[in-house]
Amino acid sequence: MTTGVRDSSAVRRVPSEEPLTALTSEGSQELLRRRDTPPAQLGRESGAVLRLPEGPVLDPGAIDVERPEDETMIINMGPQHPSTHGVLRLMLELDGEFVLRTKPVIGYLHTGMEKTAEELTYVQGATNVTRMDYLSPITNELCFSMAVESLLGVEVPERAVWIRMLMSELNRMSSHLMWMATNGLDIGSTTMMIYGLREREMILAFYEKTAGLRMNLNYVRPGGVAADLPDGWQDDVEVICDTIDARTYEYDDLLTGQPIFHERMEGVGGLTAEEALALGVTGPLLRSTGVPWDLRRSMPYLRYDEVAFDVIVGTYGDNFDRYAIRLNEIRESVRIVRQVVRRMPPGDYRAQDAKVTPPPRGRIDASMEALIHHFKLFTEGFRVPVGETYTAVESPRGELGMYLVSDGSAKPFRLHVRGPSFVNLQAVPLLMRGGLVSDTVTVISTVDPVMGEVDR
């Protein structure tokens, strides 16, 4: 049992009128009544971003602390709510139909993956991280593998790098298609949901053909990828590209010009660039405010500096911009995938380093060394030199970073995951400030949190 912070000053208590069930509580995670909430927190829940150099700043001192309680109502949305994309729980303070304060309460899907990672070897680690952001498993594996490789100093073969690019762009397409589908469902367009899932299915089928699994692939591993692309993969990918590219224009017809869709999306949930940067927001949410920040372009990894693509930015930072960015990013990913198909180099799909990657199955029967290496790898794993590294990739939701600490053993000493949706979720109170209850659904949807990654 640890004691470090158990002194009385460290323990914050909620006011006495709300009795606690346990004395160990550090304070309520829920939305409290106004007079029980510290001013800074009250400002935060009301959507204030403090200390901005310019732009609209809500002064927490100006917030009505003593608002009569019969005027407002605190309601609970989630964790079991169809439009919260998992188990997100929002507590809303309402004045009639208008949202005054919002507080996301998370942790309902917390499974201790960072702790689990400390118990798994680096070989097993990719199976763990792939379950975090379950809509973009490849990105998680890629980030983990790149972190391990940077500590190991292993050079990945050229073909493996391009396979990784192919798979992560397909993943971006499938993730954004899934977003289009759920967003369509949230605003009542059931057709869009069916369309989005239908197109995503093609990519999942290709995954199954390549890696054997549709989700949680464990395909990208330290040292390369798990298997080479199947025969005739070019044709499969061409079909995927052609179909999805053509169908994005169907989505245009279905949604982009539709008046009801515009009413729900345009001008709702506005965000400025200053606010986004102050809140640490990345990904389509940041780009919607007009900041052209995409790690693929700004700090290229893999071979993104060798392919041509556009970074899509918005202007107003509202829901519609975020929709348009995701739709156009599908088209840009199609562009990248087509270039990857053209330029896919021949060669090995994983590093031929017997200490890191397993030997081919055929060699195990013939070579004693191969058998030993295989046995050692899958029982003990490989040892990684002492050190720390922070690796970041552009996931469909923003910057996915992993801070990996190694103590020289075969298991990570600490693996911290910077989940983009975990950080992006902080923008929700701001986006909802003064909005209508019905807009909360579209706001949550366009922030696009994946709870597996938020809670880890």
Partner 1 sequence: MDARARVHRAARDAHVTIEASPTTIGLGGETVRFVGRDAYRSTVAALREEGYELCVDVCGVDYLGHPGRDLPEGVTAERFEVVVNLLSLSQKARTRIRVQVPEHDCRVDSLFELYPGAEAMEREAYDLLGIEFVGHPDLSRILMPEDWEGHPLRKDYGVGRVPVQFKEAPGPR
Answer yes or no whether residue 160 interacts with partner 1 by CB under 8 A. no
Rounded to an integer, what distance in angstroms lies between the CA atom of residue 220 and that of residue 167? Answer: 9
Rounded to an integer, what distance in angstroms lies between the CA atom of residue 366 and that of residue 363? Answer: 5
Rounded to an integer, what distance in angstroms lies between the CA atom of residue 180 and that of residue 448? Answer: 10
Give the tokens for residue 43. 């400002």
- Residue 218: partners with Cβ closer than 8 Å, 6 or more residues away: 126, 127, 130, 141, 211, 226
Binders of partner 1 among 181-220, rule CB under 8 A? none
* Least distance (Å) between residue 49 CB and partner 1: 5
Rounded to an integer, what distance in angstroms lies between the CA atom of residue 320 and that of residue 270? Answer: 10
- Among positions 8, 16, 19, 22, the unique one binding partner 1 when judged by CB under 8 A: 22
Considering only the stretches 39-47, 68-76, 314-322, 359-367, report the one whose residues sit in contact with partner 1 under the rule CB under 8 A.
39-47
Answer yes or no whether residue 401 interacts with partner 1 by CB under 8 A. yes
Binders of partner 1 among 48-87, rule CB under 8 A? 49-51
Answer yes or no whether residue 174 interacts with partner 1 by CB under 8 A. no
Answer yes or no whether residue 8 interacts with partner 1 by CB under 8 A. no
- Among positions 58, 416, 436, 437, the unique one binding partner 1 when judged by CB under 8 A: 416
* Least distance (Å) between residue 421 CB and partner 1: 11
Rounded to an integer, what distance in angstroms lies between the CA atom of residue 130 and that of residue 216? Answer: 5
Answer yes or no whether residue 124 interacts with partner 1 by CB under 8 A. no
Considering only the stretches 124-132, 245-253, 312-320, 386-394, report the one whose residues sit in contact with partner 1 under the rule CB under 8 A.
386-394
Q: Are 403 and 388 in contact (CB under 8 A)?
A: yes
Rounded to an integer, what distance in angstroms lies between the CA atom of residue 334 and that of residue 242? Answer: 8
Nearest residue to 290 (alpha-carbon basis) of 314, 325, 322, 323: 314
* Least distance (Å) between residue 383 CB and partner 1: 13
Answer yes or no whether residue 4 interacts with partner 1 by CB under 8 A. yes
Q: At what angle do helices 158-186 and 233-251 cross, to 10 degrees?
A: 30
Rounded to an integer, what distance in angstroms lies between the CA atom of residue 403 and that of residue 389? Answer: 6
Q: How many residues bind partner 1 (CB under 8 A)?
A: 65
Rounded to an integer, what distance in angstroms lies between the CA atom of residue 78 and that of residue 104? Answer: 10
Give the tokens for residue 256. 């982009």
Count CB-CB contacts under 10 A for residue 180: 26
Nearest residue to 313 (alpha-carbon basis) of 334, 336, 273, 284: 284
Site track 252-271 with partner 1 (rule: CB under 8 A), x = hit? --------------------
Q: Are 264 and 443 in contact (CB under 8 A)?
A: no
DSSP state for residue 69 in the 8-state scheme: T
Tokens 């900041």 correspond to what residue?
A: 291
Nearer to partner 1, 147 or 217 (CB): 147
* Least distance (Å) between residue 422 CB and partner 1: 7
- Among positions 69, 208, 306, 407, the unique one binding partner 1 when judged by CB under 8 A: 407
* CA-based radius of gyration for the chain: 24
Considering only the stretches 184-192, 210-218, 278-286, 375-383, report the one whose residues sit in contact with partner 1 under the rule CB under 8 A.
278-286
Rounded to whole angstroms, the maximal C-alpha distance in the chain is 81
Answer yes or no whether residue 312 interacts with partner 1 by CB under 8 A. no
Nearer to partner 1, 43 or 358 (CB): 43
- Among positions 94, 299, 371, 436, the unique one binding partner 1 when judged by CB under 8 A: 299
Nearer to partner 1, 159 or 164 (CB): 164
Answer yes or no whether residue 16 interacts with partner 1 by CB under 8 A. no
Amino acid sitting at position 148 = V
* Least distance (Å) between residue 117 CB and partner 1: 10
Considering only the stretches 195-203, 210-218, 349-357, 412-420, report the one whose residues sit in contact with partner 1 under the rule CB under 8 A.
412-420
* Least distance (Å) between residue 410 CB and partner 1: 15
- Among positions 98, 290, 413, 437, the unique one binding partner 1 when judged by CB under 8 A: 413
Handedness of CA 188, 249, 205, 322 (dihedral sign): negative
- Residue 307: partners with Cβ closer than 8 Å, 6 or more residues away: 165, 336, 339, 340, 343
* Least distance (Å) between residue 26 CB and partner 1: 5
Nearer to partner 1, 244 or 431 (CB): 431
Nearer to partner 1, 47 or 396 (CB): 47
Q: Are 85 and 182 in contact (CB under 8 A)?
A: yes
Answer yes or no whether residue 423 interacts with partner 1 by CB under 8 A. yes
Residues that bind partner 1 (CB under 8 A): 1-2, 4-5, 10, 12, 20-22, 24-29, 38, 40-41, 43-44, 49-51, 106-107, 110, 112, 114-115, 119, 150-151, 277-282, 291, 293, 298-299, 386-392, 399, 401, 403, 405, 407-408, 413-414, 416, 418, 422-423, 425-426, 455-456
